[in-house]
Amino acid sequence: MTAVADSKHRRRRSVGSAAHYSDGRYYDQAYRRRRQDVRFYTDLAIESGGPVLELGVGTGRVALSIARRGIEIVGVEPMASMLERAEERVQRLPHTARDRIELRQGDLRKLRLRRRFPLVVAPFNVWNHLYTRSDIERGFRTVRHHLRRGGRFAFDVLLPDPESLARDPSKRYRGGSVPHPRDGIRYRYSEYFSYDAASQIETVMMDFEHPTDPKRSFCTPLTQRQFFPAELEALLHYNGFAIESHEGDFDGEPIGRATESQVVIARMRSR
């Protein structure tokens, strides 16, 4: 790849990694029905006894539940918009739970705290935002740096679906209409998908069409690096992890045609 093409790719990736997270209230509304993962990570946190480190804490969807159940948690997030929303939600907790959450702005690839944790988590596709091998290796290094001996690393990423990845990028996939919390207006929602087979990055263009005024329509890109299951296992292995479980959902369903995620629990491999 030429230097110009490489920098164009990088720019597109960074826009597609930030745009979807520029409005914490919209994020919470969009994913309000996603609960199974919250239960899964909360149970792991209770089992670990804490404290827990959450990489990519977002609006605190998972972290708040963990703190409510009596476990101390440190959450790290690069997007100010997501962190502001998380802060707002933390302020509404009873003060005992509030005191158990520490939020920090930061990039998981560079994070170095002077603490170790029995559990590090990266819930809901955080790893799909690590686009290059170097980013992925830096992410795993951060996890190793913060795990206590015998500690666990739990995360989930998308399961790539070859049929979906082969979708025609010019085809519009219509969803329903969605109210946007910014203005309460119902936008007509549709999506376009394009997949770059060389970098394994899928871009979803989320199109919000204003009902009457085209000037108020907008489009939000989301870029996600796809991990094929055997590739993910190899990456974990060569970055010093042993896999405890690698499943297709949060109820232990094996990875297969009917599942959409990969849910991994790993430990550092003893040398």
Ligand X SMILES: C[S@@+](CC[C@H](N)C(=O)[O-])C[C@H]1O[C@@H](n2cnc3c(N)ncnc32)[C@H](O)[C@@H]1O
The residues of the shown chain that bind ligand X, judged by CB under 6 A, are 17, 21, 55-58, 61-62, 76-79, 82, 107-109, 123-126, 129
Taking each helix axis as running N to C, give the angle between helix 133-146 and helix 229-238, from 0 to 180 degrees, rounded to the nearest 10.
Answer: 50
Q: Which is nearer to ligand X, 68 or 188 (CB)?
A: 68
- For the bound state, the minimum distance from the C-beta of residue 165 to ligand X, rounded and expressed in Å, comes to 19
- For the bound state, the minimum distance from the C-beta of residue 27 to ligand X, rounded and expressed in Å, comes to 7
Q: Which is nearer to ligand X, 143 or 236 (CB)?
A: 143
- For the bound state, the minimum distance from the C-beta of residue 1 to ligand X, rounded and expressed in Å, comes to 22
- For the bound state, the minimum distance from the C-beta of residue 242 to ligand X, rounded and expressed in Å, comes to 24
Q: CB neighbours of 92 closer than 8 A, spacing ≥ 6? A: none
Nearest CA to 77 out of 53, 107, 47 is that of 107
Whether the CB-CB separation of 173 and 18 falls below 8 Å is answered with no
Residue nearest to ligand X (CB): 58
Q: Which is nearer to ligand X, 22 or 245 (CB)?
A: 22
Q: Which DSSP symbol is given to 214? A: G
Around 133, how many Cα atoms within 13 Å sit in the side-chain half-sphere? 6
- For the bound state, the minimum distance from the C-beta of residue 32 to ligand X, rounded and expressed in Å, comes to 11
Q: Parallel, antiparallel, or unpaired: how do β-strands 117-122 and 147-158 relate?
A: parallel
Q: Which is nearer to ligand X, 56 or 118 (CB)?
A: 56
> What own/partner pairs with CB < 8 Å and gap ≥ 24 does 251-260 have?
251/36, 255/159, 255/229, 259/159, 260/158, 260/159, 260/161
Q: Which is nearer to ligand X, 40 or 187 (CB)?
A: 40
